[in-house]
Structure 1
Amino acid sequence: MSNIETGDMALPPLAAYVHIPWCVRKCPYCDFNSHTHQGGLPEDAYIDALIADLDADLAHAHGRELTSIFFGGGTPSLFSAAGLGRLLTAMQRRLRFASNIEITLEANPGTFEQAKFKDYRAAGINRLSIGIQSFNPDHLKALGRIHDGREALAAVDMARRAGFDNLNLDLMHGLPSQTLEQALADIEQAIALGPEHLSWYQLTLEPNTVFYSRPPKLPEDEVLWDIQEAGQARLADASYAQYEISAYARDDRRARHNLNYWQYGDFLGIGAGAHGKLSHADGRIERYWKTRQPTDYLNPDKPFCAGRKSFSASELPFDFLMNALRLVDGVPSAWYTERTGQAIADIAPVLDSAVERGLLEPWQQQLRPTAQGRLFLNDLLEMFL
């Protein structure tokens, strides 16, 4: 494949992901880098390490402004607002924040109180993503969650009282022994709470999880299909527009941080096990990852960065499209060249074949999957391997 000159490859928007790896309890379906904490959290030491980690990555920011920050985990709401505020202040001293920067904190019901929410808002966090997963007590128990349905309702109320006007609720479906009626009841309850954004996704059994080694009884495929169809229809009726495989938003309140991932933007990754993606001035595109174990990450004798991978020209089509084609509307075709440095003509025969198979819309202006392409996204992406 041919490489476009570096001058034609504009540096994309830049975001930052901050990983806080501790949880009260590890959920049996979770394959994220999360660790049950014993006793007190090393909050101050960890924030010091995050700042030092950021300092090591600053050279890669190329003077760009930061468009979003996402605190993920783990359970970031285990950390104090004062601690996260200290980190945000340090970040703003080192990086230029966009005037409308989106700063999201993942939180779980049961790990906070209303006063803490007010302090988070005062610290500059302007978006909350609350991990509810279900309102059904039996399903919450099966998922190993530490909250109940009442705490989930209270969490949303606390967030609103604290001044948050941009909320995401995480919901799962296809849960152990879940019926269509139960899945729709979860959606109805979520809609009644009026969040600006809903992440609604199917439970999958991931390697290196308890559920993978001891699989629960999941709904049959026919039931899963019925849940998917009925749930999407109900969300559309309630004015939640689907813009990605599992993301729905009202009033165009799409998650800007996640959009940056899917639109092949860049992001700094700091924290134990965090991943990042960088476009370099010489045309290289690189992904990197940080030391995974918190004890190693906090060890001053060990490096923060655990590995890096630069993509070859033959690897870039898949890496770009596995993100862009998750979006219902896809991305402008011109972005392929702008954000990979590769000529789109090089993959035109494969794109044409995908159109012929009914998986991709005509691609000259927009790289957009068809409805069939979204259903069989893996088949579509495999064409670019």
Structure 2
Amino acid sequence: MSPLSLYVHFPWCIQKCPYCDFNSHAVKNPIPEAAYIDALLADLQADLALLAAPRIITSIFMGGGTPSLFSPESLLRLLTEIGRLVPVDAQCEITLEANPGTFESAKFRDFRALGINRLSIGIQSFHDRHLRKLGRVHSAAEAKLAVEIAVKAGFDNFNLDLMFGLPDQSESEALNDVETAIGLAPTHISFYQLTLEPNTYFYKFPPKLPEDDVIFAAQKRCQRLLADNGYQQYEVSAYAKLGKQSRHNRNYWQFGDYLGIGAGAHGKITRSLPNDILRTVKPRSPEQYLSQPGKSQCETIAVAHLPLEFLMNQLRLKAGFSLEEYQSATGLAADSLEPSLSICLAQGLLQRQGLVYTCTDKGWDFLDVVLEKFID
């Protein structure tokens, strides 16, 4: 049984952040927890019927939104029923996203007792004025307290989310955020630049962001600091201690298969190569999702799009890819990457070391340029 990941989306938050383009909705009424768990399980059963053969779940990621708004009892029911519907690896990585404004000691002890063995905590910044501009519901002090609660609850594997390039953020403030995060000893740090995405408040009413050269200088200094403290960059925005890379996200970036359940969730299922690789999408509105449990839009990835689909994820990884991995994931011959692959090598955007192709520093900084060359 080849490995498979499971993503579970929880669409509710305490409030909507002005930069967020994820499918999240501010809580206005009590969350219909029981009904939503029912819908998730019906959704999972429908997706499992799409598999060409039995598969084993090796990672579960509960994202959002804010999954930690749900009760431990609801998540216990969800995880228990998942285990009854599909085989789950005994060493399964089970991640829960959480915002510092939702941390309670007893609740997180219960989460750990359920078998959840990894947290991803949305800090974003340790400066109160930046948190206010980002619309976060927590303070810097609450962010530090959340980590303390997590550690006391038994979580020894956790990620901290940080953003840089924030409105009016100085280089020294960005560096201080990273220094503070390192001091809290997470096993993983996600460090990514604020971007103004369509359909967000910030896109409609753009804040004043630092100049590009200030952002770039801050990024480079922070990356050096992370490396000096044992956090190795393995993806564009992901840094981890040795052996603590996110198993779930690595599978996604390596063009692996994953089921996506929940409002607006996406999935990818390989049934046969190269002609039957499915993308699934669930109804985005929580109300529509609850009214049509198990409904999914399925689309077969066109064979001509597979080179780009593979590379747009794989090239985000520092480890790059081999032609054998490409053939195994897509079912296509190695020469289907030509002539674009040779052009990128000649232009110094990609490099080959043995059997492995990776981005050069130039290619890493201009990844969009690299990928454009593989558009059918």
Secondary structure, aligned partner of 2:350? coil
How do residues 14-93 of structure 1 correspond to structure 2 at under 5 angstroms? 14-61=4-51, 62-93=53-84
1:292 aligned to which of 284, 288, 291 = 284
Give the structure, 1 or 2, with the largest relative contact order (CA under 8 Å, sep 6 or more).
Answer: 1
1:256 aligned to which of 233, 247, 251 = 247
Are the counterparts in 1 of residues 2 and 55 from structure 2 also a CA contact under 8 Å? no
Are the counterparts in 2 of residues 105 and 127 from structure 1 also a CA contact under 8 Å? yes
How do residues 205-354 of structure 1 correspond to structure 2 at under 5 angstroms? 205-281=196-272, 283=274, 284-299=276-291, 302=292, 304-354=294-344
User: Runs of 4 or more off by more than 4 Å in structure 1?
Assistant: none
Q: TM-score, normalised by structure 2?
A: 0.97
1:315 deviates by 0.5
Task: Identify unmatched segments of 5+ residues in structure 1.
Answer: 1-10
Task: List per-residue Cα deviations over 1:162-198 (Å, max 9, x = no partner).
Answer: 1011010000000000000000000000000000000
1:130 aligns with 2:121: yes
d(CA) in 2 for partners of 1:305, 1:372: 43
1:116 aligns with 2:116: no
Are the counterparts in 2 of residues 28 and 144 from structure 1 also a CA contact under 8 Å? yes
Secondary structure, aligned partner of 2:352? coil
The equivalent of 2:169 in structure 1 is 178
How do residues 3-14 of structure 1 correspond to structure 2 at under 5 angstroms? 13-14=3-4
The equivalent of 2:366 in structure 1 is 376
1:347 deviates by 1.5
d(CA) in 2 for partners of 1:93, 1:278: 20
1:269 deviates by 0.5
Secondary structure, aligned partner of 1:164? coil
d(CA) in 2 for partners of 1:152, 1:374: 32
Distance of aligned partners of 1:333 and 1:282 in 2 relative to their CA distance in 1, 3 Å threshold: closer
d(CA) in 1 for partners of 2:78, 2:269: 22
What letter is aligned with 1:375? Answer: D
d(CA) in 2 for partners of 1:344, 1:304: 37
1:309 deviates by 1.9
Distance of aligned partners of 1:291 and 1:181 in 2 relative to their CA distance in 1, 3 Å threshold: same
1:282 deviates by 6.0
d(CA) in 2 for partners of 1:363, 1:286: 32
d(CA) in 1 for partners of 2:315, 2:175: 27
The equivalent of 1:7 in structure 2 is none
Q: Number of paired residues? A: 373
1:345 deviates by 1.2
User: What is the CA RMSD across the aligned residues, in angstroms?
Assistant: 1.3
d(CA) in 2 for partners of 1:166, 1:146: 24
d(CA) in 2 for partners of 1:275, 1:202: 23
Task: List per-residue Cα deviations over 1:186-215 (Å, max 9, x = no partner).
Answer: 000000000000000000000000000000
d(CA) in 1 for partners of 2:321, 2:90: 24
Secondary structure, aligned partner of 1:25? coil
Secondary structure, aligned partner of 1:39? coil
1:39 deviates by 2.4
d(CA) in 2 for partners of 1:252, 1:329: 14
Are the counterparts in 1 of residues 307 and 336 from structure 2 also a CA contact under 8 Å? no
Are the counterparts in 2 of residues 288 and 305 from structure 1 also a CA contact under 8 Å? no
1:99 deviates by 2.2
d(CA) in 2 for partners of 1:86, 1:96: 16
d(CA) in 2 for partners of 1:145, 1:167: 20
The equivalent of 1:6 in structure 2 is none
Are the counterparts in 2 of residues 12 and 266 from structure 1 also a CA contact under 8 Å? no
What letter is aligned with 1:373? Answer: G
1:307 deviates by 2.0
Secondary structure, aligned partner of 1:286? strand
What letter is aligned with 1:45? Answer: A
Secondary structure, aligned partner of 1:362? strand
Task: List per-residue Cα deviations over 1:103-122 (Å, max 9, x = no partner).
Answer: 00000001120111100001
Are the counterparts in 2 of residues 17 and 71 from structure 1 also a CA contact under 8 Å? yes
Structure 1 stretch 54-63 or stretch 177-186: which is displaced more?
A: 54-63
d(CA) in 1 for partners of 2:290, 2:57: 25
1:107 aligns with 2:98: yes
Secondary structure, aligned partner of 1:276? strand
d(CA) in 2 for partners of 1:12, 1:174: 40
Secondary structure, aligned partner of 1:361? strand
Sequence identity of aligned pairs in percent? 54
The equivalent of 1:356 in structure 2 is 346
Are the counterparts in 2 of residues 129 and 167 from structure 1 also a CA contact under 8 Å? yes
1:191 aligned to which of 182, 187, 191 = 182
Distance of aligned partners of 1:168 and 1:236 in 2 relative to their CA distance in 1, 3 Å threshold: same
